[in-house]
Amino acid sequence: MVAGATGLVGREIVKQLRADSRIGQVHCLVRKPSGLAASNCTEHVVDWARLEACESLAAVQRIDAVLIALGTTIKVAGSQAAFRAVDFDAVLAAAEFAQAKGASRVGVISALGPSKSSPVFYSRVKAEMEDAVRALGLVRTVFARPSFIEGDRAALGQVDRPGEGIALTAARLFNVLIPRKYKAVRAADIASGLIAASLQGSGVQALESGELWKPHAA
């Protein structure tokens, strides 16, 4: 199951899962029809506050693993409460729903430097989300903590994030000077890292941004 299947990283996750011979079926959770449906990919239009109300999703007999790429910004969401509803409530709801369907593995896109003591609301919510998902006690729990994400948001109809734009410009100009842990990471690399870590092993793992980053041609 993929929650946040239409986002920058979510689409890459779906693309890679559909091409993975180990995966029989991918269930994509979306807020509105997106055109992702295919022979090995089922689309479910959901209300994040009432996942069980989606009849097609409720009819799924078993989920083995869930990958969650839900996320917004306070500016886009409109308020701290609206941001938390996505980055905490919806993430936890997806993980709990999948667990109830038998999932033993969860992978979540978090963020660089989550901290419950941070003065930054964004970082505190990410830390609280990680604690809540970790507390579910699944066999395997993975948090990917990318720095800025490199990808074409405009092509997906998403609002540009100024911070990412600045980081990507700096990366192009001063790439060799930027520490690996702060380099912008391609969406495809985040997706492949999360998939690989989530579908093998056991226990809890945090994939830091430097581990997700891979060099590539300019």
C-alpha closest to that of 140 among 57, 85, 200: 200
pLDDT in tens, 10-31: 999 999 999 999 999 999 999 9
What's the CA gap between 197 and 147, in Å, rounded?
18
C-alpha closest to that of 51 among 84, 6, 96: 96
* pTM for this prediction: 0.87
Asked if 112 and 147 touch (Cβ cutoff 8 Å), the reply is: yes
Task: Delineate the domains of the chain, giving CATH numbers in brackets.
Answer: 2-212 (3.40.50.720)
Asked if 9 and 187 touch (Cβ cutoff 8 Å), the reply is: yes
pLDDT in tens, 52-103: 999 999 999 999 999 999 999 898 999 999 999 999 999 999 999 999 999 9
